[in-house]
Structure 1
Amino acid sequence: MKPLSYSVVLFLGVILMKTLSVVLPVYNEEDTLKTVLKQIKKVNVLEIIVIANGCTDASVKIAKEEGCMVKVVEKRLSPHEARMEGAKAAKGDAVLFVDGDIILSASEIERFVQPLLFGHSDVVLNKWEKTKINAFNRSEMTWSAVLHHALGKPHRANAYLKAPYGVLLSVLKNYWEMPPLSLFVTLLTQYRVSSHITIETQGKGSFRPFDRPLRSRERIQSYQQLLQTYYTLASNRKRRVDMLAQPIPVVEYGWGKLSSFYGGKQLSVIVPVCNEEQTIKQVIAEARKLEPLEIIVVINGSTDQSEAYAKEQGVKTLVYDERLGHDCGRAAGALAAMGDILLFIDGDFVLSAQELYPFASAVASGVDVALNVCEDEEKLTHVVQGWKYVLNETIGRKDLLMSSMTAVPHAISRECLEKIKPESLAVPPFAQIKAIIEGFHVQAVHHVDVNKFNRFRYSEHLSLKSHSPTAELIIQDHIFAFLSYLQRD
């Protein structure tokens, strides 16, 4: 068979190419609109539909002069609502949504819509490269990452459907009234989606500080509502708390001292331990420099010499032959503690007394929960840190960023502990929201980079899936806390 000539292939391509309508909502964009439209007109588009969304400047006049179809909306709509209004009037096979205040070159537009127009995808989304996270985009990127994790999808695009993006009209017409996040989930999970190129929009466009807080609240509420539909309160928290209900094992009491460091208050240091014979002696030696009333080592299913070494050092020792579960050692230690201040550390890495003292000192000075400062923006790309931020923002404490009771070291006051109950410490983020709801003073007080110290455990940290078992457990703890907060009475 004779091969097709280039001209025939090109001709067939033109025949098969779908038609394109471009929709852009406009709100007082007279400074940029003409340039935006001139670039779009260089592309082979069927029509340009401008939604004049409460405009009071010359935007409508400019759009008409450039030959656009103009629909005037007197009462301002949300950007998504305005886009859907334009799409309802579209006649093309596909619809591309752009903004009136961000100038895209004709070549960018052509490359962006190619998969849509040549039948390779039903949806095209702007690929979200690892943009540097800052105070302006932190919340937006983090919630999007958490939702992608819920869907089991790689984080390649903004879940809140920010322009530019394109959809086949035959797909979109089934979902006119669907809110943006629900539409995104539907498109991502039910249709062919391409996110093949990145068009940089970060920091571009108009700056409207008065719109920002309202839109931010609406966006967060939308994410909260959607995530509730994807998760239930099912959790292994009950299993872990049930383990704590068993009788406290025989305790071997150690020695401590009354301290003058904390204004008359006394300190309990709690150290959960599982096979930490390499480090436990040094951990105890540094903790003892803090002048604690007691050091409580919780032997949590250890099979090495940890128990013998702890008793040899003369500390209060609780021995559980069967491992209680993640974070239950902290709760068990808290149940046995007698101090006014409870400091939680881990037994698998050594922190100096100088690094630990600020947490105990903060509680002595009036803080109820003293957290390890975690504000490294780059870590937000990991969904565990993302969930920490999302939970803090949900409870109105985004100032805490990723600081969490999940991480050690942290300290808590006796008054707070008795109110939130020691058992809540089995799920640290749940304990944290309880402390905040009850009005206790929760503050990130000092930074210790514990990631470089944590001992690698093959069974817990080596992942055969996208996240390790430990990471998945921490995520589930945060989901439990998140739902508990949203569904509280």
Structure 2
Amino acid sequence: MRISVVIPAHNEASTLSQVLVEVEKLKPYEIIVVDNGSTDGTNEVALQHSCHVIYYKHSLGNDVGRAIGAREAKGEIVLFLDGDIVIESKELQRFVKGVQQGHQIVVNNLTWSVYLKMRPHYTTVGKFMLNRYLNKKELVVGSLIAIPHAMNRDVIENLGWWNLADPALFQAMAMSRGVDIADMASVDVIHTNKVRPVHTGTSPGSPYPKATSRIMGDHLCALQYVIETYGKRGGFSEGNRDREFIGKYKPVLLQKEKAKYSAIIPVSEEKITIRSVIQEVKKAGVDEIIVVANGADAETIKQAKLENVIVVEFAKALGHNVARAIGAMHATADICLFVDGDFAIPAKKLIPFLHAIEDGNDVALNDLQCLLDMFHPADPISMGKYFVNLVAKRPDLWNNSLTAVPHAMHKKVIEKIGYDSLIIPPLAQMKAILEECSITAVEFVDVIKTNRVRPEQHGFVNGRIPAFDRIFGDQLEAIAYLLQHTNGRGSFTDGERDRDIILQLRREEENIDEC
């Protein structure tokens, strides 16, 4: 099988020769250097090594040169590199060998990076979650955004060379169509990557540097494709959640006087814990407690009523988080506290959430960012929560989310975003962020050790974990809402990609075909 090597380059004269020396050891059929806007002699270096040089006077922007090089490639195997990172030929050979063995794409295995004793980088989170949302968790952070990678030319022809200008999108397309992607080769390109101006400073309208902003936008572009292909939940189940119920439900307020604080406690089978949960909430000073019996057993309801609180009963389980919305509809206070009925949280831990709203915040979250320091890699749910905050341009919120209790909200926020939004916690949070509500993480409450394990939700069912599927789907709904209310990149920069040159080349191909 013939090997074509594609190397986009912009002012890489100082390293390109060394890169090409290693590439030549592979005895490739051709080496294509796409020189876009170099002024340092990059072109001359490439010609000295007998490369096929495609020259543009101006910079094409990220990944466009890679796509144009792929368009010109004739080999059955196409290997993609950068001009600024020297990689030994024996390392490159592993990528080629993977395609020779039958894999259609071989990506760089950077799994080791998630085991580093540090919080994951923003782009690492994006790569990790794209694979998770596409049910390719085995690739961990394997991505076409990172070089080296190799692929069978048939994949390029089937998916379109022009889509390589958006590597995350190309990857999503490949995964959705069952392309065989492997990661048997690993090269450290993180510590060897050349630091450029786009890696520092900030991008307009973004809290991140230009390069990070571009990569965030690339992942959102890929997720836009996922959502268009599989629906706003990416094909993930939400269990037995009854969404339509809230639209039909008309609450009858059972407390005539307005409360200072309202607490909402959904329950199902919590007869052992519900009284202690309520007692701690009372100690926190909450004067209106609403227990929503969501298909609960009789004993749980009996135990709740012994505490002289409001109990709203439903014979049929309405599904996850529907009870939160119902409870909020019954609440008379401006400050609403949300807890679960399966474990008691000490009053001293609940009070700060109430005070945070009193102090002017709109939303007060459980501060779980310590989980990013405790586990390496972080668990996929925490990574997903973190990713939602990252694309919402709130990296300061880390992995803190309305998915976790306890949390508190001002009633005006709930009314603004809609009671039905509470059914999908990440969506509620995304709406609150886009409404520019004040959101803060209050303090750490351990809900990991105390959370009740439910085999039907947290165990494997037909090879999947239902709770993970539900939460991943919820996160994608939040992302779908963001994309709907911004653009296909979540308003992140496109990295000054020259889309016009791609359109021009595609038109030329169409004209040739017509002739």
Corresponding position of 2:96: 113
SS in 2 for 1:131: helix
Contact 2:169 2:219 in 1 (8 A): no
Q: How far does residue 58 in structure 1 lie from its aligned partner after superposition? A: 3.4
**Where does 1:263-274 land on structure 2 (aligned, <5 Å)?**
266-274=260-268
Change (3 A) 1:487 1:89: closer
Q: Is structure 2 residue 13 aligned with structure 1 residue 19?
A: no
Q: How far does residue 190 in structure 1 lie from its aligned partner after superposition? A: 4.4
Query: Which residue of 333, 339, 343 maps to 1:339?
Result: 333
Query: Which residue of 152, 158, 162 maps to 1:177?
Result: 162
Change (3 A) 1:75 1:107: same
Question: How far does the alpha carbon of each residue in 1:407-451 deviate from its partner, in whole angstroms, 9 at most, with x for none?
Answer: 101001122233333333222222223323333212222222311
Q: Is structure 2 residue 108 aligned with structure 1 residue 126?
A: yes
Change (3 A) 1:384 1:26: same
Instruction: Find the aligned partners of 1:379 and 1:299 in 2 and give their Cα distance.
Output: 38
**Where does 1:143-222 land on structure 2 (aligned, <5 Å)?**
143-156=126-139, 158-174=142-158, 175-178=160-163, 179-188=166-175, 189-210=177-198, 211-213=210-212, 215-216=214-215, 218-222=217-221
**Where does 1:357-368 land on structure 2 (aligned, <5 Å)?**
357-368=351-362
Corresponding position of 1:44: 27
Question: How far does the alpha carbon of each residue in 1:175-205 deviate from its partner, in whole angstroms, 9 at most, with x for none?
Answer: 2222433432343434443322222222322
Match of 2:196, as an amino acid?
R
SS in 2 for 1:406: coil
Corresponding position of 2:440: 443
Question: How far does the alpha carbon of each residue in 1:66-104 deviate from its partner, in whole angstroms, 9 at most, with x for none?
Answer: 343333221112342212322334343322111112221
Corresponding position of 1:28: 11
Q: Which moved more, 1:188-197 or 1:338-347?
A: 188-197
Corresponding position of 1:387: 384
The TM-score with structure 1 as length reference comes to: 0.84
Q: Which moved more, 1:426-435 or 1:406-415?
A: 426-435
Change (3 A) 1:273 1:159: same
Match of 1:271, as an amino acid?
I
Corresponding position of 1:301: 295
Match of 2:287, as an amino acid?
L
Query: Which residue of 66, 71, 94 maps to 1:88?
Result: 71
Corresponding position of 1:287: 281
Q: Which runs of 5+ in 1 are unaligned?
A: 1-17, 259-264
Contact 2:104 2:180 in 1 (8 A): yes
Match of 2:333, as an amino acid?
G
SS in 2 for 1:195: strand
SS in 1 for 2:386: helix
Instruction: Find the aligned partners of 1:296 and 1:50 in 2 and give their Cα distance.
Output: 67
Match of 1:276, as an amino acid?
E
Corresponding position of 2:227: 228
SS in 1 for 2:228: helix
Match of 1:468, as an amino acid?
I
Change (3 A) 1:89 1:160: closer
SS in 2 for 1:298: strand
Corresponding position of 2:269: 275
SS in 2 for 1:225: helix
Q: Which runs of 5+ in 2 are unaligned?
A: 199-209, 487-515
Match of 1:483, as an amino acid?
A
Match of 1:324, as an amino acid?
L
Match of 2:407, as an amino acid?
H
Structure showing greater radius of gyration is 1
Instruction: Find the aligned partners of 1:380 and 1:371 in 2 and give their Cα distance.
Output: 23
Contact 1:281 1:309 in 2 (8 A): yes
Aligned length: 462
The TM-score with structure 2 as length reference comes to: 0.80
Q: How far does residue 50 in structure 1 lie from its aligned partner after superposition? A: 2.0
Instruction: Find the aligned partners of 1:481 and 1:109 in 2 and give their Cα distance.
Output: 39
Corresponding position of 2:41: 58
Change (3 A) 1:54 1:191: same
Change (3 A) 1:172 1:131: same
Change (3 A) 1:185 1:277: same
Corresponding position of 2:201: none
